[in-house]
Amino acid sequence: DAGVTQSPTHLIKTRGQQVTLRCSPISGHKSVSWYQQVLGQGPQFIFQYYEKEERGRGNFPDRFSARQFPNYSSELNVNALLLGDSALYLCASSLEWGFAYEQYFGPGTRLTVT
Amino acid sequence: LAKTTQPISMDSYEGQEVNITCSHNNIATNDYITWYQQFPSQGPRFIIQGYKTKVTNEVASLFIPADRKSSTLSLPRVSLSDTAVYYCLVSASDGQNFVFGPGTRLSVLP
């Protein structure tokens, strides 16, 4: 079975631009979470979606938004990019909502903002 | 949210048993303890999860004392490929957040 897939793998954007990152969960998984990982730090939780509804939100500004589609795939949008948004963006899927279920992480999208 | 504290780094040699301890003094009654492993340029990978006492799977053991204020991840007979960052997380099953700390950077030497 395919694991969590993310696209694109790498992305370079300019300050002020907008970016959309995509994630396809493992087949049968209903929950998708997004994380930001800055070099040298642990992943920071951004959002969790379950059955197309937002179920959790980390401490990120409103420039960050996400959605989940009927097929359980998800998009993360970041508007008005700042240099500090440069990071590895990770998507994780799990069978159900909540963190008692094992999270399966994708390889991430490396975003560079110049 | 229960905060976790882990050693920043550890060194070990191939074939040794490695124990990484995580402190979580403010753990709540409905919190679970989960450990993840991360290699460079990859997403974290689930290792083990527990609530109390001892949990063992094919790759690790997790020891949780009765007061649950700490936990210890035990990796038996490590190899060079176990060099990675190990994260301890504490979260309620219905929690709305999942907090990774800085993790423990384990270096396995030949």
The ranges assigned to domains in chain A are 5-105
Q: For residue A31, which residues of chain B lie inside 8 Å, CB to CB?
A: none
**What superfamily in CATH does domain A5-105 come from?**
Immunoglobulins (2.60.40.10)
- Cβ pair B98:A102 closer than 8 A: no
Q: How confident is the model at residue B96 (pLDDT cuts 50, 70, 90)?
A: low
Tell me the pairing of strands A74-78 and A64-68.
antiparallel
pLDDT tens-digit map of B36-92: 999 988 999 999 999 998 999 999 999 999 999 999 999 999 999 999 999 999 887
Instruction: Determine the residue type at A112.
Output: T
A60 interfaces chain B, CB cutoff of 8 Å = no
Q: For residue A41, which residues of chain B lie inside 8 Å, CB to CB?
A: 102
**Which residues pair with residue A46 across a beta bridge?**
none
Architecture of the domain delimited by B9-109: Sandwich (2.60)
The token duo for A108 is 């991430």
A91, A34 contact by CB (below 8 A): yes
A94, A34 contact by CB (below 8 A): no
- Cβ pair B98:A45 closer than 8 A: yes
Higher-confidence position of A76 and A57: A76
**Which residues pair with residue A73 across a beta bridge?**
none
